[in-house]
């Protein structure tokens, strides 16, 4: 006897514990199985790209913090590097090192949050999240030490960084670097080989290599699919060519690989920071630039390896003191392209962790 | 890359959580505890000091959200020198004459300049303008073209200042001035005018003016304009004894002069100290310029290399172009940004076809079958030294050879001080105290011979100090200050917002003309352009701030305003999570901030802030450490 | 009062109105004990989870935060009681009551000391099994009547999960029944000179795991999976009705802990301390383990939960039953260590064999 | 380093019928006719020596007189990049062929440009607004929209 069934429209978000902000998916479910999905964007659209056109280059700086608000430092860095490239501003060596330290610390923060919330999506009752948050707080304290803010740092400037490191910073950072490897090991032992985690995330939400490249995925999502593509390696910016580090890649492109790639990247980031601290030169940290300087007319695309993928700023100048157009290549946004292909056929519970393993930040998706 | 395997699955995870039960819990800190643990450079309080605020509006302009509102009311009651005047060695009140120019009073503007220096025309054409480097507007986009405005003023001078001044009665004292450069003539001018002394100026050159006359080419400063300034000095009855070489200042004292002022300048080029620099085709910068500027006919080869990156190098190169050299290059060992010459000079030189060979340094000069050749080494900028300036290092094996007809070494000058002067020297210069007195009583010195090669305005400033000292030495008051012009005015609503626009271009004569004649290369601005340029002035330190308000509801505490403040009038407190967002609470007077809420000054990027803060805030250091 | 509770039933029945007095005392005693211990256990869970996560847990209201639950109760009682306009109002009203009542009834057959219980039913264990299934009816009613897609999904999950886990739960109890030879809980406790956990480790494992699923605890907390279904079946409930569900959950946890303690840990038996204290200690211990599991493990997906019940627990329970019956028949004089060892090795072999077939992840459903 | 492909090389490698649709070579990109965009992109995606298989970013710009769309392409294998540009002179009804058939990654980015600049991508599977709601007046990133804030 055939049971009469009917698909169910399920509205995930914009207010939902696992959509990491105000993302919304309109899912068509057949029982627990997702048969179709439509992502809905725009709940956090602030028109940052339009705002940029009415602000001076410097005034736009604090707004870049608000793109991906868990990686302000990276956003700052990508933007100031684009403008520096456009205007030919030189950056003191010390500032380059400080920038690298900050960017990598920020990567650690963002990855810790990504992993922690990934486990939350999987159903652990906040335990890994809290373990990671404690370490994240320590980095936040370090950031507070250098720039006085705890979330939206606005630390980098054209031609350097806004403040030099206070004397307490390096000892505090060294202490953090010493204790962090043991912490990472702890996170791994806690859940990395847990049978339930394996059962939930292995071979779940597979993004094949071909699909990842075709869908312009970037960052850990792309690398988990086995593509060895890290902007820090393939197109070294700033002073990344001076450091020795590996690019972890996955093999299957499933949720588990995406999670493990992030964990491995924590170790690599620590590696880079350690090298940067050892090589930190003395000197000034800022080549002052006029507040309302006018870069020459032209355009520039400058990218960095943000913690969620390639973060690029396409800055077009018409020679005035305000940018003519700024386009942000937002990794969170573009990584979502393949979401539909990854979700269809999986169960509702899988959908949540697949979505969590992509690790998006709505501030960057909607801009 | 395979991932690390750990094994043990659920059991290991359970063990880890269990082990955490006995560990000390981590907790967030509450505001009070936080205050003493972590330093906060940017907090949720904005401090503002009416005392230091210059109402330049930079903070208002840099705010991304437009939260800052400043209202002004009339002229400032307590004086606050604008950076352009305080950074000027002679303290010419640039802010005031720009204000007067903006009201269309060039005569008054010249009078303001005349209050401090007797060479308004010379300075209007060739001053090195340290004021522009200090200009607050330069912090915003481009500095006000103060020199160009000055030039507009002197070109449209109506001589109104002359009616407001009169020479002092004769004092009967005699002063000898050795050297008729800007320093010597400045001293002569003030001693004659304000002290009433009778002055005799000696110089071994045929005409007065010193380095200004023989070192600065005509295309920058036509000689008749120099004479305009010198004529004013001659009009005071100063006696000029030209073509007179003085061997000893002591002789002059014995001849009946009551005091002697030595300003013999620095007229000898430094040598390059490379093999072959004694070749006759290798010239010194000033030695090359002197005959040219004295109107003599000078032959120069077709290919000329000028070594050095200062203003003298630019002058030599551009002069060589005008003398017919086909290929003129400047060899400088650092990159262009490090060049000490004024930027506009470099640009003009390039426009006239001078090639820049940057990051190169001559290592050898030799004669190859009658052909003069210069061997150069390529340089690279090495690691920054303690000062942060990157040091040039030679690149091994990067020699290249340039064929030339003449080499001009413009790498610096030094004074030639006759032995019989018998002064105590320092670094080859005459040693003087802060009152410009030499080791011999009654003899004073200033200018390049005392400071080493420097700018005109520094020479004038030194000479002013010397004139005061000499006047006091001779029994006068030592007061040489004058008041020749009216005060600035501060109309209401004049400082509502920043006027937008870039600095207008400097008009130049036709480029082909520039390359062939010594006619003045730069032209004066017209009235409208000058008027626009004066409107760009931020008028710092001019207005009284009646009302400073921060819209704390919209402020995001990005700190851009604090960094943009050149006067340290703004700063962030490190208060944590203040409950109320009342305006009165968030914008605090500096004095109102409790001591323990202020940041340590060293955390700011303005390192000089430490001196700028009132003494009480330095207590913070001790308190935080405790 | 306590002395009265501990008096043997025979003496009490001799008092005037002894029968009614007995019912009154025990009825009041059970409800009071249950409600107060819920408050304490909520506090305990929050504190304990806090410690597992390196936090303090609630520590502001009262000494050690003991009054936190009281404050929560007051807050929750003063909340507005909202009924969705399209809900099935009668079912919506009835659901919490139907869910809560059977939980209290279950305690009626649990002895707190020798013979000290509300009703020493000779089919005590059957009563427990029968009555405990009623709770799932209440949960289903709540999920269905709320007119909410999330709660509907949760309700469906409830039915599937609870029905599946009844089987292994009951079968594992049968092992104990065989050993005791009685269905009365009091007899079972008395039979445990050696706690049955030592004789029946496999039985304990099955019972404990299945009871975790019965009470919707991690890793089987699918019906309130907050990262997927926001809050599950009680998503539309507020105020007192929500409080009732909340109460039900904790009462279930306490009752299941009590049953575990009674069936496998020797109930009120124990040296030196009074029997009731022993029982409370054992309940607390089991509850702590439940909390510990909650603090560590992520949750399974619905198909994995079902697979676990039908393909792992049920065969294991049948095997356990078979082995226990055989040993009772053919080797009734077996020493305790031998039968315990046989049981344990059976468990180990079964897990090893099963792990060979363990495949992490899942398959997509072709759509 | 990711090498910038020399645009002359690209033009030489293009077959005759495609090479003719190259309008100009500029410092920042290869300007091509909008109609042939899909063909050229499909060619560059597979041509040995080019293999620009990764569509990094699409930027739409309102250049007052025309719309410009920049496509930044990478080759993951050969580690080089190039920028294709199309210019749409028709400002009233701008349309350009969609690349979503070639690269899935173009899907959302093209929708974004459609939403904010009002450029229609013909052949896109789901051409509708993405950040703003249906019925939002105008397209904010156009220079004639509003007057800033």
Q: Please check whether residue C364 lies inside any domain of the structure.
A: no
pLDDT of residue C329: 83
pLDDT of residue A100: 92
D100 pLDDT higher than 90: no
Q: Distance (Å, rounded) from C-alpha C258 to C-alpha C106?
A: 10
Chain B contacts of A63, Cβ < 8 Å? Answer: 64
Question: With an 8 Å Cβ cutoff, are A198 and C361 in contact?
Answer: yes
B603-609: long-range pairs with CB below 8 Å, 24+? B603/A163, B603/A166, B603/B39, B603/B41, B604/A163, B604/B41, B604/B571, B605/A162, B605/A163, B605/A164, B605/A285, B605/A286, B605/B563, B606/B563, B606/B568, B609/B568, B609/B571
Write the CATH number for A353: 1.10.645.10
DSSP B207-271: STTTHHHHHS-TTTS-HHHHHHHHHHHHTTT-EEETT-----HHHHHHTT-SEEEE-----EEPP
Residue ranges of chain C whose pLDDT lies below 70: 1-18, 115-116, 358-367
Q: Which of C54, C295, C298 sits opposite A119 (nearest CB)?
A: C298
pLDDT of residue C7: 56
Disruptive mutation site among C301, C312, C352 for chain A (greatest number of A CBs within 10 Å): C301
Half-sphere exposure of B402 (CA within 13 A, CB side): 26
Q: Please check whether residue A367 lies inside any domain of the structure.
A: no
C22-29: long-range pairs with CB below 8 Å, 24+? C22/C118, C23/C118, C25/C1, C26/C108, C26/C117, C26/C118, C27/C118, C29/C1, C29/C5
Tell me if B307 sits within 8 A of B274, measured CB to CB.
Answer: no
Q: Which of B511, B183, B203, B134 has its CA nearest to residue B354?
A: B511
Q: Which of A292, A301, A360 has its CA nearest to residue A332?
A: A360
Find the closest chain C residue to B28 by CA distance. Answer: C55
Architecture of domain B166-267+415-473: 3-Layer(bba) Sandwich (3.50)
Chain A contacts of B9, Cβ < 8 Å? Answer: 193-195
Residues near B332 by beta carbon (within 8 Å), at least 6 away in sequence: B307, B308, B309, B313, B339, B356, B357, B358, B359, B360
Calculate the CA dihedral of residues B393, B398, B399, B401 and round it to 10 degrees. Answer: -120
The strand ranges marked E within A247-330 are 298-306, 309-317, 323-329
| Mean pLDDT lowest among A58-67, A177-186, C350-359 | C350-359
Chain B contacts of A294, Cβ < 8 Å? Answer: 141, 502
Question: With an 8 Å Cβ cutoff, are A329 and D57 in contact?
Answer: yes
Per-residue pLDDT tens digits for A307-316: 888 999 999 9
* B164 backbone dihedrals φ, ψ, rounded to 5°: -105, 10
A167 secondary structure, DSSP code: T
Disruptive mutation site among A122, A193, A319 for chain B (greatest number of B CBs within 10 Å): A193
Q: Distance (Å, rounded) from C-alpha B249 to C-alpha B267?
A: 18
Question: With an 8 Å Cβ cutoff, are A345 and C294 in contact?
Answer: no
Element of type H or E holding B544: strand B543-550
Disruptive mutation site among B8, B13, B17, B20 for chain C (greatest number of C CBs within 10 Å): B17
Tell me if A96 sits within 8 A of A89, measured CB to CB.
Answer: no
Q: Which 3 state secondary structure label does DSSP give B505? A: coil
Find the closest chain C residue to A119 by CA distance. Answer: C298
Q: Which of C338, C309, C342, C301 has its CA nearest to residue C153?
A: C301
Write the CATH number for D57: 3.30.460.80
Q: Please check whether residue D100 lies inside any domain of the structure.
A: yes
Question: With an 8 Å Cβ cutoff, are A10 and C301 in contact?
Answer: no
Residues near C45 by beta carbon (within 8 Å), at least 6 away in sequence: C287, C291, C294
With an 8 Å CB cutoff and a minimum of 3 pairs, decide whether chains C and D touch: no
Q: Please check whether residue D101 lies inside any domain of the structure.
A: yes
| Burial of residue A195 (number of CB atoms within 10 Å: 0-12, 13-18, 19+) | middle
Q: Which 3 state secondary structure label does DSSP give C363? A: coil
pLDDT of residue A79: 92
Radius of gyration of chain A from Cα atoms? 21
Number of domains in chain C: 1
The strand ranges marked E within chain A are 8-12, 24-30, 33-40, 156-157, 160-161, 298-306, 309-317, 323-329
Q: What is the Cα B624 distance to its own chain's centre?
A: 38
Q: Distance (Å, rounded) from C-alpha D106 to C-alpha D123?
A: 12
Q: What is the Cα C167 distance to its own chain's centre?
A: 15
Find the closest chain C residue to A17 by CA distance. Answer: C227
Domain of D67 in residue numbering reads as 3-105
Q: Which of C359, C252, C256 has its CA nearest to residue C303?
A: C359
Q: Please check whether residue C240 lies inside any domain of the structure.
A: yes
Shortest CA gap B10–chain C (Å): 8
Tell me if B217 sits within 8 A of B293, measured CB to CB.
Answer: yes
> CATH assignment of B83-163+491-535?
1.10.1060
Work out the mean pLDDT of chain C and round it to a whole number: 82
Domain of C294 in residue numbering reads as 2-357
DSSP C216-250: T-TTS-GGG-HHHHTTGGGTT--HHHHHHHHHHHH
- Would you identify the CATH topology of the domain B275-411? FAD/NAD(P)-binding domain (3.50.50)
Question: What b/e readout covers B250-260, taking b as 16+ CB neighbours within 10 angstroms?
Answer: eebbeeebbbb
D77 secondary structure, DSSP code: T
Residue ranges of chain B whose pLDDT lies below 50: 30-40, 575-626
Tell me if A90 sits within 8 A of A287, measured CB to CB.
Answer: yes
The region that residue B172 occupies, defined by phi over 0 for left and psi between -120 and 50 for alpha, beta otherwise, is: left
pLDDT of residue B625: 25
Q: Give me the numbers of helices (H) and strands (E) for chain A, helices first please.
A: 15, 8
D117 pLDDT higher than 80: yes
Q: Which of C157, C182, C192, C187 has its CA nearest to residue C282?
A: C192
Cite the DSSP H helix spans in chain D. 7-13, 16-19, 37-46, 106-117
Question: What b/e readout covers B326-352, taking b as 16+ CB neighbours within 10 angstroms?
Answer: ebbbbbbbbbeeebebbeebbebbeeb
Q: Please check whether residue D60 lies inside any domain of the structure.
A: yes
Q: Which residue has the higher pLDDT, D13 or A79?
A: A79
Q: Distance (Å, rounded) from C-alpha C51 to C-alpha C60?
A: 15
pLDDT of residue B598: 40
Number of domains in chain D: 1
Q: Which of C295, C360, C362 sits opposite A125 (nearest CB)?
A: C295
Mean pLDDT of D54-72: 89
Q: Which of A308, A331, A332 has its CA nearest to residue A110?
A: A308
Work out the mean pLDDT of chain D and round it to a whole number: 84
Q: Please check whether residue A255 lies inside any domain of the structure.
A: yes
pLDDT of residue A111: 92
Per-residue pLDDT tens digits for A145-178: 777 777 888 888 888 888 788 777 788 788 888 8
pLDDT of residue C226: 72
| CA distance readout (Å), D117 to A323, B239, D97, D122 | 17, 78, 15, 15
Domain of A146 in residue numbering reads as 7-362
Element of type H or E holding B348: helix B343-351
Q: Which of A133, A137, A136, A127 has its CA nearest to residue A190?
A: A127
Number of domains in chain A: 1
Question: With an 8 Å Cβ cutoff, are A127 and B17 in contact?
Answer: yes
Sketch the domain layout of chain B as residue ranges.
83-163+491-535, 166-267+415-473, 275-411, 580-626
- Edge-first strand order for the sheet with B239-241 is B239-241, B198-202, B174-178, B259-262, B443-445
pTM, two decimal places: 0.82
> Do the two domains B83-163+491-535 and B275-411 of this chain adopt the same fold?
no
Which range of A69-73, A142-146, C195-199 scores highest in mean pLDDT? It is A69-73
The strand ranges marked E within chain C are none
Q: Which two tokens stand for residue A17?
A: 């514990």
Shortest CA gap D55–chain A (Å): 6
């Amino acid at each position: 006897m055939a049971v009469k069934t009917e698909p169910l429209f399920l509205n995930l978000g914009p207010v939902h514990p696992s959509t990491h902000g105000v993302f919304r998916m309109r899912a068509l479910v057949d029982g627990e199985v997702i048969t179709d999905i439509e992502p809905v964007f725009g709940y956090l659209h602030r028109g940052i790209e339009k705002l940029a056109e009415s602000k001076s280059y410097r005034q736009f700086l604090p707004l870049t913090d608000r793109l991906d608000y868990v990686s302000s430092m990276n956003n700052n860095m990508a933007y100031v590097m684009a403008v520096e490239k456009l205007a030919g501003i030189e950056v003191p060596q010390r500032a380059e090192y400080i920038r690298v330290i900050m960017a990598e610390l920020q990567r650690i923060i963002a990855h810790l949050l990504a992993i922690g919330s990934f486990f939350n999506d999987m159903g652990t009752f906040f335990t890994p999240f809290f373990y990671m948050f404690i370490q994240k707080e320590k980095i936040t304290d370090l950031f507070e030490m250098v720039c006085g803010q705890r979330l939206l740092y606005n630390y980098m400037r054209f031609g350097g960084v806004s403040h030099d490191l206070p004397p307490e910073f390096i000892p505090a950072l060294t202490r953090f670097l010493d204790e962090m490897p043991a912490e990472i090991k702890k996170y791994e032992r806690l859940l990395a080989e847990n049978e339930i985690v394996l059962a939930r995330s292995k071979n779940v939400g597979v993004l094949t290599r071909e699909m990842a490249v075709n869908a312009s995925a970037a960052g850990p999502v792309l690398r988990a699919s086995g593509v060895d593509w890290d902007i820090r390696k393939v197109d070294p910016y700033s002073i990344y060519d001076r450091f020795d580090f590996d690019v972890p890649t996955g093999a299957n492109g499933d949720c588990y690989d995406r999670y493990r790639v992030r964990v491995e990247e924590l170790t690599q980031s620590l590696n880079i920071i350690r090298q940067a601290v050892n090589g930190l030169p003395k000197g000034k940290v800022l080549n002052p630039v006029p507040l309302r300087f006018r870069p020459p007319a032209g355009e520039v695309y400058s990218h960095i390896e943000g913690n969620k993928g390639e973060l690029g700023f396409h800055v077009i100048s018409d020679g005035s003191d305000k940018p003519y157009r700024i386009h942000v290549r937002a990794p969170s946004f573009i990584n979502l392209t393949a979401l539909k292909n990854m979700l269809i056929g999986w169960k509702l519970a899988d959908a949540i962790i697949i979505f969590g393993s992509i690790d998006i930040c709505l501030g960057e998706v909607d801009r | 890359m395979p991932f690390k395997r750990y094994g043990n699955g659920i059991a290991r995870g359970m063990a880890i959580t269990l082990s955490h039960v006995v560990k000390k819990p981590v907790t967030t800190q509450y505001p009070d505890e936080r205050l003493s643990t972590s330093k906060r450079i940017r907090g949720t309080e904005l401090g503002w000091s009416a005392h230091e605020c210059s109402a330049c509006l930079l903070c208002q302009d840099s705010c991304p959200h437009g939260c800052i509102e400043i209202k002004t009311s009339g002229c400032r009651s307590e004086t606050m020198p604008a950076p352009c005047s305080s950074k000027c060695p002679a303290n010419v009140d640039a802010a005031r004459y720009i204000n007067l120019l903006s009201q269309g009073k060039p005569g008054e503007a010249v009078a303001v300049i005349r209050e401090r220096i007797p060479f308004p025309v010379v300075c209007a054409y060739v001053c090195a303008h340290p004021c522009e480097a200090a200009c607050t507007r330069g912090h915003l986009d481009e500095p006000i073209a103060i020199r160009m405005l000055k030039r507009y003023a002197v070109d449209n001078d109506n001589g109104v200042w002359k009616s407001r001044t009169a020479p002092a009665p004769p004092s009967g004292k005699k002063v000898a001035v050795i050297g008729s450069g800007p320093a010597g003539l400045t001293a002569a001018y003030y001693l004659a005018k304000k002290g009433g002394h009778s002055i005799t100026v000696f110089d071994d050159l045929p005409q007065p003016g010193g380095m200004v006359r023989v070192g600065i080419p005509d295309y920058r400063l036509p000689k008749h304009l120099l004479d305009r300034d010198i004529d004013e000095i001659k009009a005071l009855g100063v006696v000029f004894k030209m073509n007179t070489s003085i061997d000893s200042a002591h002789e002059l004292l014995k001849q009946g002069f009551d005091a002697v002022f030595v300003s013999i300048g620095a007229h000898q080029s430094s040598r390059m100290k490379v093999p072959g620099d004694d070749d006759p085709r290798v010239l010194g910068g000033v030695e090359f310029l002197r005959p040219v500027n004295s109107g003599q006919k000078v032959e120069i080869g077709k290919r000329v290399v000028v070594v050095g990156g200062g203003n003298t190098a630019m002058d030599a190169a551009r002069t060589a172009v005008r003398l017919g050299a086909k290929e003129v290059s400047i060899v400088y060992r650092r990159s262009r940004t490090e060049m000490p010459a004024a930027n506009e000079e470099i640009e003009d030189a390039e426009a006239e076809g001078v090639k820049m060979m940057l990051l190169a340094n001559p290592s050898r000069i030799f004669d190859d079958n009658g052909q003069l050749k210069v061997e150069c080494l390529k340089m690279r900028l090495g690691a920054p030294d303690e000062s942060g300036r990157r040091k040039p290092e030679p690149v091994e094996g990067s020699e290249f050879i340039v064929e030339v007809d003449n080499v001009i070494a413009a790498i610096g000058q030094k004074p030639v001080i006759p032995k019989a002067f018998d002064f105590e020297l320092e670094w080859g210069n005459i040693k003087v105290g802060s009152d410009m007195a030499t080791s011999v009583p009654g003899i004073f010195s200033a200018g390049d011979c005392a400071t080493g090669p420097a700018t005109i305005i520094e020479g004038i400033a030194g000479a002013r100090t010397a004139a005061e000292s000499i006047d006091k030495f001779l029994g006068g008051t030592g007061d040489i200050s004058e008041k020749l012009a009216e005060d600035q005015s501060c109309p209401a609503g004049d400082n509502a917002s920043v006027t937008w626009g870039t600095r207008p271009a400097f008009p130049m004569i036709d480029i082909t003309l520039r390359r062939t004649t010594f006619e003045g290369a730069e032209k004066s601005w017209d009235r409208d352009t000058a008027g626009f340029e004066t409107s760009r002035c931020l008028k710092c330190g001019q207005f009284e701030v009646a009302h400073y308000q921060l819209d704390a509801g919209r402020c995001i505490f990005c700190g851009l305003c604090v960094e943009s403040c050149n006067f340290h009038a703004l700063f962030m407190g490190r208060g944590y999570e203040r409950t109320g967002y009342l305006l009165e609470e968030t914008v605090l007077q500096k004095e109102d901030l409790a001591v323990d809420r202020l940041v340590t000054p060293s955390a700011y990027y303005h390192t000089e802030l430490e001196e700028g803060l009132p003494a009480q805030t330095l207590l913070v250091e001790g308190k935080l450490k405790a | 009062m306590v002395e009265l509770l501990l008096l043997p039933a025979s003496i009490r029945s001799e008092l005037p109105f002894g029968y009614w007095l007995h019912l009154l005392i025990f009825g009041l005693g059970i409800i009071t004990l249950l409600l107060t211990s819920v408050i304490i256990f909520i506090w305990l869970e929050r504190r304990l989870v806090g410690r597992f996560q390196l936090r303090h847990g609630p520590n502001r209201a009262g000494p050690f935060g003991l009054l936190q639950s009281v404050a929560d109760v007051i807050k929750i009682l003063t909340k507005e009681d909202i009924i969705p306009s399209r809900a099935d109002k009668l079912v919506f009203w009835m659901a919490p009551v139907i869910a809560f009542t059977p939980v209290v009834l279950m305690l009626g057959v649990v002895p707190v000391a020798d013979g000290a219980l509300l009703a020493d039913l000779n089919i005590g264990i059957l009563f427990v099994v029968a009555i405990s299934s009623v709770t799932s009816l209440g949960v289903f009613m709540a999920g269905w009547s709320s007119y909410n897609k999330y709660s509907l999904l949760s309700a469906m999950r409830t039915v599937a999960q609870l029905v599946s886990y009844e089987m292994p739960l009951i079968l594992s109890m049968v092992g104990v029944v065989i050993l005791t030879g009685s269905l009365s809980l009091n007899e079972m406790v008395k039979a445990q000179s050696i706690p049955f956990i030592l004789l029946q480790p496999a039985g304990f494992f099955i019972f404990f795991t299945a009871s975790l699923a019965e009470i919707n605890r991690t890793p089987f907390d699918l019906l309130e999976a907050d990262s997927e279904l926001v809050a599950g079946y009680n998503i539309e409930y507020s105020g007192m009705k929500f409080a009732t569900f909340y109460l039900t959950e904790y009462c279930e946890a306490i009752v299941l802990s009590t049953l575990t303690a009674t069936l496998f840990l020797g109930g009120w038996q124990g040296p030196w301390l009074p029997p009731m204290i022993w029982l409370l200690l054992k309940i607390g211990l089991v509850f702590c383990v439940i909390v510990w599991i909650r603090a560590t493990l992520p949750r399974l997906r619905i198909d994995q939960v079902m697979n676990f019940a039908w393909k792992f627990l049920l065969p294991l329970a049948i095997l356990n039953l078979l082995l226990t019956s055989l040993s009772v028949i053919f080797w009734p004089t077996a020493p305790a260590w031998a039968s315990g060892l046989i049981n344990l090795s059976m468990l180990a072999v079964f897990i090893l064999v099963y792990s060979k077939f363990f495949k992490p992840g899942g398959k997509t459903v072709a759509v | 380093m990711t090498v910038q492909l020399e645009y002359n090389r690209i033009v030489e490698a293009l077959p005759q019928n495609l090479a003719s649709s190259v309008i100009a070579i500029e410092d920042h990109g290869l300007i091509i006719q909008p109609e042939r965009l899909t063909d050229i992109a499909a060619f560059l995606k597979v041509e040995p020596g080019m293999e620009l298989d990764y569509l990094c970013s699409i930027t739409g710009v309102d250049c007052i007189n025309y719309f410009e769309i920049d496509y930044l392409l990478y080759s993951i294998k050969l580690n080089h990049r190039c920028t294709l540009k199309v210019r749409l002179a028709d400002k009233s009804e701008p349309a350009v062929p969609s690349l979503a058939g070639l690269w899935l990654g173009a899907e959302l980015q093209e929708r974004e440009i459609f939403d904010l600049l009002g450029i229609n991508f013909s052949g896109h599977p789901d051409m509708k607004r993405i950040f703003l709601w249906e019925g939002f007046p105008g397209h904010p990133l156009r220079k004639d929209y509003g007057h800033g804030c």
